[in-house]
Structures are given as C-alpha cells and as structure tokens.
Structure 1
Amino acid sequence: MLIGKFPELRLRRLRKNENIRRMVRENYLSVNDFIYPLFIVEGEGVKEEIPSMPGQYRYSIDRLVEEVQEVKELGIPAVILFGIPGYKDELGTDSYSDEGIIQRALRAIKKEVPDMYVITDVCFCEYTSHGHCGYLKCHGETCEVDNDKTLELLKKQVVSHAQAGADMVAPSGMMDGMIKAIREALDEEGFKDIPIMSYAAKYASAYYGPFRDAAESTPAFGDRRSYQMDPANSDEALREVALDIQEGADIVMVKPALSYMDIIRRVKETFKYPVAAYNVSGEYSMVKAAAMKGWIDERKVVLETLLSMKRAGADLILTYHAKDAAKWLKDGGMESI
C-alpha cells in the first residue's frame, strides 16, 4: 500500500480536536452491543453481592425482575441468565425441570418485562453435584463427561427453556455435536425461530475463577480441559466455529475476550458471521480491584477495553460492566474515553 510521506503527510492533522476525531473514528461502542449476565438463586428478597465480583449480585427471582427492569431502562437490549438451584444432583435435573430456577425466572421476566430479550446459558455445571458440564461415566475412580449422553440432556434443557419463554439459547458446555442436537430438538418442538448463540471457542481459562464462585460451579474433582479448548490453540478455534456454523449456530462466541482478541479477529475475518465476545468475570474483577485501589480510571479503562473488543471484530459483548458502561456512554459517549 503506497501512502504519502512526512512532511507532506502528517497524520496528526486528523487528531487535532474532538470534532475531527469524531469524524474519522472507525469503530463505535453502543449500548446496543451489550448483553448483561445475571445470577439467580432460590429464596425471596435476595440480593447478595458476590465477594470476588464487586457490584455484581445473586438475585432471587422477585429481585431479578426489578434488576431486569433497571437494565431495560438503561437501554441494554438483552440479558443472559445463569441459574443456581437449591438442589443439585448427578444429572442436573433442575436444568430441564418445568419448575427449575431458570424456567421460573423466564416466566417471571416475560410477565413483568415482556420486551426484554432473554438469553439462557445452556449447560450443567451449575446444576450438577459434581460441577461438570454433563453426564458423567465412571470406571472405578476415573470419571469423564459422556459427550453423547449429555447431548440428550441438552435437548431437554433447551426445549424447557423455549417453552418457558427464552428468546435465545446459548449452549456453553463445548460438547461435540451440541448445536446440531439442540437445533433438531428446538425444531421438532416447533421452536424454529429460537436462535442459538454458541460458545463456539470456549477456552479452559484461568479467568473464570470469580464466575465459578458466583455460580457455585467449581468442579468437585479434576478440571474441564478435556472438553474446553487449550489456550495455546488458535487454528482449532476456527474448526470449532466452522462446525458450529454448519450445525446451525446463529451467533458464535469467543470466551474469554481480553486474552483472545486474535481469535475474535480470525473468526470474524474467516466467517463474516455474527460474533459475540464474553468479557468474563476475571477480566471484570481485575479492573474493579485496580479501580478500588485508585490505580486506574475505571470509566476510561472499561470503555477502552470494550471498544477494543469491537475493534477486534465482536458484534456483541457479554459484560458485567454493561450497566456502568451504558450510563457512561449516555453521559459522555465515546468522548469519555
């Protein structure tokens, strides 16, 4: 690419003041980009702060509805729900029960805030007594997740979510063939218009620690490296995304976001497909901790970080910063960065 040279070309000319910077700005951050994660627990009148995620809470269903109403008033278009049941068993049966915590939460939200777009996380780690993402098969003292039996349970879960009012389902367990199984189950039950946002490239990341505290989903033994992706791999992410698109995913997600910007960029450039980035709990908590110490300007760092995800190629951002970011964008827009 041939361009001019100094001194005829001075790139600082287009940075001289805020007006010209706005005119040539390439990427924008909007409240329309955000999906806000919410944690739901049993009980009434519950709003308990998550110690490792300052400013984030577990809500009982009655308080959840109040929070969703506030989210709507801020202009955030969507929430994603994570349920923490009062009872857990080996199969995670609460996840597909008509009276499960997510199913009741969906009905409550749709009754009180019907125009909020509600996405459900589809997995088993929050619901199982062992904390793994599916059906376990054991040989002696050695246990592993049975991929294909888990698919049958996932079908039950997504259908129950759709029946309760979910607008979109988001499978996060990284089971092979999960998108095909879920698409077939939804279609067979008459939910052809329910889209799937697949956690297509989900890495076995150390950044999930605070989330596992929040969702009470830490594995009772072992880890999830046998089904979540190795952080060293990038070509594999493209294969994962390609398979999910072929099986019927409507949106593909990269998780985490901050350390995987290269993956977001490669996925977007390769597939030209709607891409979501999950700005995960560890990323959130690090910013919060530094801000509480006075080491960073929280507002500027958060908005710069979210903008960088858009710049990398994300169309949507799941972020715990969504409420704050919505307020900051309303107050000062991109000029506040």
Structure 2
Amino acid sequence: MTQLHFQRHRRLRQSAGIRAMVKETYLHKEDLIYPIFIAEGENIKNEVASMPGVFQLSLDNLGAELDEVVALGIPAVILFGLPAEKDAVGSGAYHDHGIIQKATRLTKERHPELLVVADTCLCEYTDHGHCGVVEGEQILNDPSLNLLAQTAISQAQAGADIIAPSNMMDGFVTAIRAGLDEAGFAHIPIMSYAVKYASGYYGPFREAADGAPQFGDRKTYQMDSSNRLEAMREAASDVDEGADFLIVKPALAYLDIIRDVKNNFVLPVVAYNVSGEYAMVKAAAINGWIDEKAVVLETLLGMKRAGADLIITYHAKDAARWLEEK
C-alpha cells in the first residue's frame, strides 16, 4: 500500500471546522426574494392547494406577512396581484389604484427599508390570460409594449424599488426603460425576466395567481426548453436595451443556463425557483420521503453555485429560519 500514489482529498473533510474553512459557495438570507400574492377584497387568506404554506392575501392581511418577512431578515419581496376584475387589455395592471399599486404603497409605508420588486406583466389582469394584447388568437407584440411601459410607470409611482417585467415580448426592456426615464424614474432598475422558458413547472403559480391562458399556450413568446444559444441572444438583447438584472426562469432544470448567463454577462443573475419546483419538494416532505430542510438548502445552494446572485423562492421564509439556526 505504501507504493500507491493518490490524492488525499478527505483531509479537507475531516472536521466541521476544516469543511467550513474550505467552503466555496455560501447561501445568505440577503440572497432571497420572497413572492407574495395579493388579492382584492377583505379578510382573505387562502392557502394555495398546490403550494402548501403559500397564501393569497388581501391587503388587510398583508401587513402581518410583511412583518414576518422583515423579522426574518429577508430584504426583498416580489408582488403579484389578483384583481377583482379583468379585461382584454389588463387595465388593472396599470391603474393607479390597482391591487399591486395599493400593496406597494402599503408595503413602503409599513416597512420603507423592505425592497419591493413589482412583477410587470398583463396575464393576471387580462380576461384571456395572455401577457399582451390579443387579436383573434394572435398575441400582438408591439401594441403590448405601451401597456407594459404604462404598468411599469404606475408601479414606480406607487413606490416600487425594482421593476421586473416577465412578459417576454420582444423589445419590452427598451420600451419600459424609455417609459420610466421619460416619467422621471431613470433611477429605477429593471430586473428583466430575460430568459423565461415555456415550462411545465408553472402550474401551481397559475393557480396561485389565477393567470392561466384561456386559449392556446405561451410558446410563441416564452422560450423552447430545448434551446440554449437562444438564451444568450435573449439576455444580450435585454442587456443592450437597459436591463440591470437578468432572471433565468425556471431554475432547477436550467442550471446550465444560469451558469451560461453568469459567464457571459456582468449583470447580477437571478434564479427563479418556481412554483412547480417548490410544490414537488413540499409534496415529498409532507409524505416523509425527504428531509425538507436539507433538500431546500441544498437546492438553493446549487443555484448559487450555478451562478445565481439572487434567488426568488417560495422557500424564502423557511430558508431564512434554517440559515439563522446554522
């Protein structure tokens, strides 16, 4: 045995202290962004059946949720709205008194230091459930851009710290950037859903946000899951048009894309740990098949290792508690 030559990798794993000393990747509470679903009405706290622990909340129940988020040390929330009424052009998305505008004002009044990221899209507000203007069964790109810019301006006026457009229309970043700048919001950054795939992982979100398309699908504007080079073209366009952050969505099946985006662009990269990814872990944990804490923290750490600087995740509150324990 003394004549064998091999590396002693285990030397650096012999104790918790040594393992901590050589640890390469870290997950912090400051990396997390927590999604919240806000519904019109009063006394609403509806648990989403496919997302245990996630609720649709009315404004009168939002304050307690925000208090918990702040107490846990989570620095940012992303808000999604469930309007009382929908129409063909999603006017509730850009109304001064839309549900997200009201939720944003409440959030900034209660916790000025909590960063509000506003999801900027039309699908939750349109009666057809698509992310733009529809003619027949065609989703029109250019007429949708003005409405998206109006939405972003309205959200900024309400106090949103970051605009996060998720619609995947061509030119959406440049239209929103121009609109914000002209309205006096040149200082407001855009967290672009730069690389958003048409994914089967979105099912629970569509229940939570009541935003499923009423006809067809979103494959004419969201990306095909088989494409990798296209992701680089999409991200490059958003960088050129003025994006400040680049989101990759979903995360787990697209860790290679997160790494590609990180390697090719200098902007902060955001992984969206989506509803289906959350639901699978929750279901397995409820059935006792996995150690939820271990799996969640390993999963989020994997996203950081892949190159994500920030993570939008429904696990944020639990993860913050577990990180505090560590």
User: What's the TM-score bracket when you normalise by the shorter of the two chains?
Assistant: over 0.9
Q: 1:173 aligns with which of 167, 171, 176?
A: 167
Q: What SS is found at the alignment partner of 1:228?
A: coil
Question: Given that residues 76 and 322 in structure 1 are in contact (C-alpha distance below 8 angstroms), is that contact kept between their aligned partners in structure 2?
Answer: yes
TM-score w.r.t. the length of structure 2 is: 0.98
What is the 5 A alignment of 1:208-223? 208-223=202-217
Give ranges in structure 2 of 5+ residues lacking alignment.
none
Q: What is the aligned residue count? A: 324
Residue in structure 1 matched with residue 182 of structure 2 by the alignment: 188
Aligned counterparts of 2:63 and 2:176: Cα–Cα separation in 1: 28
- 1:209 partner amino acid: G
Range with greater deviation from structure 2 (6-15 or 206-215) = 6-15
Q: What SS is found at the alignment partner of 2:135?
A: strand
Q: 2:238 aligns with which of 244, 247, 263?
A: 244
Deviation at 1:273, TM superposition (A): 2.0
Deviation at 1:111, TM superposition (A): 1.2
Deviation at 1:66, TM superposition (A): 1.5
Q: Deviations over 1:101-133 (max 9, x none)?
A: 011111111111111100000001100000000
Deviation at 1:258, TM superposition (A): 0.2
What is the 5 A alignment of 1:138-157? 138=136, 143-157=137-151
Aligned counterparts of 1:55 and 1:6: Cα–Cα separation in 2: 54
Give ranges in structure 1 of 5+ residues lacking alignment.
333-337
Question: Given that residues 65 and 113 in structure 1 are in contact (C-alpha distance below 8 angstroms), is that contact kept between their aligned partners in structure 2?
Answer: no
Aligned counterparts of 2:147 and 2:277: Cα–Cα separation in 1: 31
Q: 1:87 aligns with which of 76, 79, 85?
A: 85
Residue in structure 2 matched with residue 303 of structure 1 by the alignment: 297
Residue in structure 2 matched with residue 321 of structure 1 by the alignment: 315
Q: What SS is found at the alignment partner of 1:80?
A: strand
Question: Given that residues 198 and 244 in structure 1 are in contact (C-alpha distance below 8 angstroms), is that contact kept between their aligned partners in structure 2?
Answer: yes
Aligned counterparts of 1:47 and 1:184: Cα–Cα separation in 2: 37
Deviation at 1:8, TM superposition (A): 5.4
Shift in alpha-carbon separation, 1:16–1:158, aligned structure 2, 3 A = same
**1:253 equivalent in alignment to 2:253:** no
Q: What SS is found at the alignment partner of 1:108?
A: helix
Deviation at 1:290, TM superposition (A): 0.2
Q: Deviations over 1:69-91 (max 9, x none)?
A: 11011000000000000000000
Residue in structure 2 matched with residue 335 of structure 1 by the alignment: none
Deviation at 1:37, TM superposition (A): 0.3
- 1:316 partner amino acid: L
**1:120 equivalent in alignment to 2:114:** no
Deviation at 1:65, TM superposition (A): 1.9
Q: Deviations over 1:271-291 (max 9, x none)?
A: 132100000000000000000
Deviation at 1:7, TM superposition (A): 3.5
Residue in structure 2 matched with residue 30 of structure 1 by the alignment: 28
Aligned counterparts of 2:62 and 2:213: Cα–Cα separation in 1: 26
- 2:83 partner amino acid: P
Q: Deviations over 1:217-243 (max 9, x none)?
A: 111010000000000000000000000
Aligned counterparts of 2:113 and 2:306: Cα–Cα separation in 1: 30
Residue in structure 2 matched with residue 294 of structure 1 by the alignment: 288
Deviation at 1:59, TM superposition (A): 0.4
The ranges of structure 1 where at least 4 consecutive aligned residues each deviate by more than 3 angstroms after the TM superposition are 5-8
Aligned counterparts of 1:228 and 1:6: Cα–Cα separation in 2: 55
Residue in structure 1 matched with residue 194 of structure 2 by the alignment: 200
Residue in structure 1 matched with residue 65 of structure 2 by the alignment: 67
Question: Given that residues 65 and 109 in structure 1 are in contact (C-alpha distance below 8 angstroms), is that contact kept between their aligned partners in structure 2?
Answer: yes
Q: Deviations over 1:22-81 (max 9, x none)?
A: 000000000000000000001122111000000000000121122011101100000000
